[in-house]
Amino acid sequence: MEITKLIAVFYVSLLAGVGAEEEDFVPLFNGKDLSGWRFWGGTADYKVDGGTIPGTTAAGSPNSFLCTEEHYFDFDLRFEVKLGDDELNSGCQVRSNTSADPSAKSKEMERFAAQLRAAGEKGRTEWQLKEAVAGDSIQYRDGLFYQANESEPYSGYAKRMYDSGQVKGLIQYKDGKPDGLVTAWRENGQKQAEETFKDGEEVSAKYWNSKGEEVETEDESRK
């Protein structure tokens, strides 16, 4: 079972009419109980333990949320978080809207979300694949990459899959150019290549052959 632990204290500073040097942060969590918070959505368990709020997922549950009862507008939110599993990803949502009826069938939220993901490679990759669009929806036009039927250069992830459902490739774009990691896998899940791009230019590359041995060139990785 995956556990996400939010450590110590949430702070919020209301910024309307306040200069940065005058910020007055207010704790949202008192370190003792969940006064000022409410549950929404699924059946994950939240509790207070040693000045932290551990959250434990529940098998088969939809997304679960711990929400402030107070509404905030112009603010600066600061908090610390610890993910208790290298394969886990979570998030912190702001400016979220829910149904006025807490018994409504759909308890998803309209929101802006800051993704929180573990440092483990598998956790990162699973989150990126979830965010990625289909690779065949990306088009190359006038020197930049676009998503089909879009006028703005694409920023985000794109993926290609084998017919078996195994991921074949994952690429990150920024402003229509490859920027970040480009990774390729064999159909058995073994990594074949990992290239790093910056502003469309390759800055480093690693390759592995079918035995899992690191090799020098892309051609060697095909053996």
User: In the prediction, which pLDDT does 111 show?
Assistant: 60
The whole-number average pLDDT for the span 128-136 is: 88
**Range with the poorest average pLDDT among 37-51, 104-118, 158-172:** 104-118
User: In the prediction, which pLDDT does 138 show?
Assistant: 96
pLDDT for 113-126, tens place per residue? 666 666 556 656 77
Question: Could you tell me which residue, 87 or 36, shows the higher pLDDT?
Answer: 36
User: In the prediction, which pLDDT does 23 show?
Assistant: 57
CB 7 within 8 A of CB 81: yes
pLDDT for 181-211, tens place per residue? 899 999 998 999 999 999 999 999 999 999 9
The terminus-to-terminus CA distance of the chain in angstroms comes to 39
pLDDT for 43-67, tens place per residue? 888 888 888 888 887 777 777 888 8
Buried b (16+ CB within 10 A) or exposed e, 26-52: eebbeeeeeeebeebbeebebebeeeb
Find, among 63, 66, 62, the residue nearest to 48 by Cα. Answer: 66
